[in-house]
Amino acid sequence: MPDGTPTGRFAPSPTGELHFGSLVAAVGSFLQARHQGGRWLVRIEDLDPPREVPGSAERILADLRRFDMTPDGEVVRQSSRQAAFDEALARLASRGLLFPCACTRSELPPGPYPGTCRNGLPAGREGRSLRVRTPDQPIVLHDAVQGEVTENLSETCGDFVVRRADGLVAYQLAVVVDDAWQGVTEVVRGADLLSSTPRQRYLQRVLDLPSPSYMHLPVVRDAEGHKLGKRHGADPVAQQAPLKALGAALSFLGHAPPAHGSLQERWNWALAHWNPERIPRSGATHTDRDGQTVYSSHERSEKDA
């Protein structure tokens, strides 16, 4: 599927409604791709059935249509990609990088995985999950908004899970396999996922897959400083007029649009003026003022710019 065209994607999980935080990620990924004349894809990451909310995927897609965000190509559902994930697991196993782990969460201490099952399962125990071996060396990457990121996986997370105890493939593996398959060249998403990126870069390397560039947008938080999330029923975009919500998302990303105009005119302005250097780096909050929802983000300092 890859052909070198600049390609971005929005990849929501169907665990609730589209909220303002996920709208920001969708708008950022959409503009970054389309501003370059590239394509924008939508992928439903439906790999965790116990957490899925019936009808959520359909409502998310309907919300995107309300905002005139139409993907270039068929919407992919990760639940249809199991064969590709199994092949990636087999490749890791053939390279001696996988091992079964019998540990439950309650048995593990805080911090990186201590290597309990790395050299073999304890006597009388059966493997529950599959972990990938991580090296004791730094992974360095540059993020277009957050700057340089350096992490030694052995010190921060250790050997991490790529197939869960319930048999479901882990997010870290699935996202790497599907980004490569879809030819994604730029991953634009919330900074809450920045900590996952070194693990994904490592998997790309050991699976001989291309590495996209990354842009992690500031996280939207509520008045108490908590991240907006679908599971908490936070700020469903379905309750907001698209023109107003799009204007708020653009302002949050450092692009204050003209006050008046149609939805199409607002998109035209955003595509013409999109500049990642204007995106603030740090977290953001929203508060209610006189019945209005106000979104704000911390501006970059001169050091950050």
Q: Is residue 149 a contact partner of residue 121, using CB atoms and an 8 Å limit?
A: no
State whether 66 and 169 are in the same domain. no
Considering the domain boundaries, does residue 96 fall inside one?
A: yes
Number of domains the chain is built from: 2
State whether 74 and 96 are in the same domain. no
Considering the domain boundaries, does residue 113 fall inside one?
A: yes
pTM value is: 0.89
Q: Judge whether residue 299 has pLDDT over 50.
A: no
pLDDT tens-digit readout, 227-238: 665 544 556 577
Mean pLDDT of the chain: 89
State whether 229 and 117 are in the same domain. no
State whether 287 and 222 are in the same domain. yes
State whether 74 and 213 are in the same domain. yes
Q: Judge whether residue 67 has pLDDT over 60.
A: yes
Q: Judge whether residue 302 has pLDDT over 90.
A: no
Cα distance between residue 77 and residue 268, in whole Å: 30
State whether 191 and 160 are in the same domain. no
Considering the domain boundaries, does residue 125 fall inside one?
A: yes
State whether 166 and 275 are in the same domain. no
Considering the domain boundaries, does residue 305 fall inside one?
A: no
Q: Which residues form the catalytic set? A: 230
Least confident of 16-25, 201-210, 211-220, 293-302: 293-302
State whether 60 and 189 are in the same domain. yes
Considering the domain boundaries, does residue 129 fall inside one?
A: yes
Considering the domain boundaries, does residue 116 fall inside one?
A: yes
Q: Which domain holds residue 156?
A: 82-174
Q: What is the CATH number of the domain that holds 101?
A: 3.40.50.620
pLDDT tens-digit readout, 107-153: 999 999 999 999 999 999 999 999 999 999 999 999 999 999 999 99
pLDDT tens-digit readout, 146-175: 999 999 999 999 999 999 999 999 999 999
State whether 187 and 265 are in the same domain. yes
State whether 187 and 165 are in the same domain. no
Considering the domain boundaries, does residue 302 fall inside one?
A: no
State whether 113 and 219 are in the same domain. no
Considering the domain boundaries, does residue 304 fall inside one?
A: no
State whether 74 and 86 are in the same domain. no
